[in-house]
Amino acid sequence: MTSFKKPLIAIATAVALATTSLLALPANAATTALTVNNVAVTTAPTTAANAVSLAVPANDVVNATNTLKIALTSVAAGTNVTATAVDAVLLTSLTNATSASGTATVNIATGTGTTADLFVFTKTTKTGSVAVTADGVTTTYFVKGTAGALNTIKVDAPTAALGTTAKVSVTGTDVFGNVVSGSVVALQVVSSNASNTYSITSDATGVATRELTGLAVGKYDLIATATVATAVTGLAAPVGFVRGELKIVDLAALVAEKDAQLAQKDAQLAVANGKVTQAEAKYAALVKRFNALATQYNKFVKTKKVKLIK
């Protein structure tokens, strides 16, 4: 009898463990249906590459057309369904929902029921994710927003050096700050004696660029206009007309002027130390400044060049 005792104990233990494991499994496993505007999502968006495309609620209305509905059924009664979103927003109802509605986390107590509905929308063109946990199983779904209509433009023009290419850029974004590509912008460049208008189109980064050459030293007024979205109450007001300024500077002339100022200080120091007279120092400084300016002048004339003072 003793020889059969240990095998029988081992078998009993294995059966007990197996029974315990089976009891630990949920009585029923939740099933999930994904839809956008009541149309089933055919490719499971469980990777970023398969993210569901959603239009951002640029009109400030969140409804079935711009949300991913996650409908869970056969959820174990009395359990909770939880969800956490990153770069996305969660709702449990679409009633009167706007872009200001929703949270990043939700917790739905099923009580005696076995169903739970979640709605996901986004205000960004980043790829967002939603991790949904039901009956002890977590599944992550991905969404990606598409930018709304052009709402705001901004003009930028860094100071450019004489003789180089000046780059003027106009950035267009939707009401949530997402860049909008393909926007047509009219850019007017105005100086004291001329005005030119260019039609430029934004690229994939939302930036429309115009390169300008042959500009003289001075300031240029920039006026950018574009067709923007209709104003929506509660959202940022559209801006389709902006102004900026472009400066063209002669860096060589500025350097020459700085050198002349330094030469004048050196001359003053020499006078103070008794090395030269005041008149000699003043003459030397004037000669250096004259030569610097004359050198710049000679760059722009083909004849009648100014002779430098030796």
Residue 223: the pLDDT is 98
Residue 293 has pLDDT above 80, yes or no: no
Spatial contact of 168 and 210, defined as CB atoms under 8 Å apart: yes
Tell me if the domain spanning 152-249 has CATH number 2.60.40.10.
Answer: yes
Percent of all residues in the chain with a pLDDT value above 90, rounded to a whole number? 67
Query: Residues 82-100: what's their mean pLDDT?
Result: 97
Query: Residues 99-114: what's their mean pLDDT?
Result: 94
Query: Residues 273-289: what's their mean pLDDT?
Result: 69
Residue 250: the pLDDT is 85
Residue 292: the pLDDT is 73
pLDDT digits (tens, 9 = 90+) for 4-53: 444 444 444 443 433 333 333 344 578 999 999 999 999 999 999 999 99
Please check whether the two domains, 31-146 and 152-249, share a CATH topology. yes
CATH for 31-146? 2.60.40
If one compares 12 and 105, the residue with the highest pLDDT of the two is: 105
pLDDT digits (tens, 9 = 90+) for 197-210: 999 999 999 999 99
Residue 21: the pLDDT is 31
pLDDT digits (tens, 9 = 90+) for 218-251: 999 999 999 999 999 999 999 999 999 999 998 7
If one compares 21 and 276, the residue with the highest pLDDT of the two is: 276
pTM of the model: 0.73
Q: What string of H, E and C letters represents the secondary structure of the chain?
A: CHHHHHHHHHHHHHHHHHHHHHHHCCCCCCEEEEEECCEECCCCCCCHHHCEEEECCCCCCCCHHHCEEEEEECCCCCCEEEEEEECCEEECCCCCCCCCCCECEEEEECCCCCCEEEEEECCCCCEEEEEEEECCEEEEEEEEEECCCCCEEEEECCCEECCCCEEEEEEEECCCCCECCCCEEEEEEECCCCEEEEEEECCCCCEEEEEECCCCCEEEEEEEECCCCCCCCCCCCCECEEEEEEEEECHHHHHHHHHHHHHHHHHHHHHHCCCCCHHHHHHHHHHHHHHHHHHHHHCCCCCCCCCCCC
The domain locations on the chain are 31-146, 152-249, 252-298
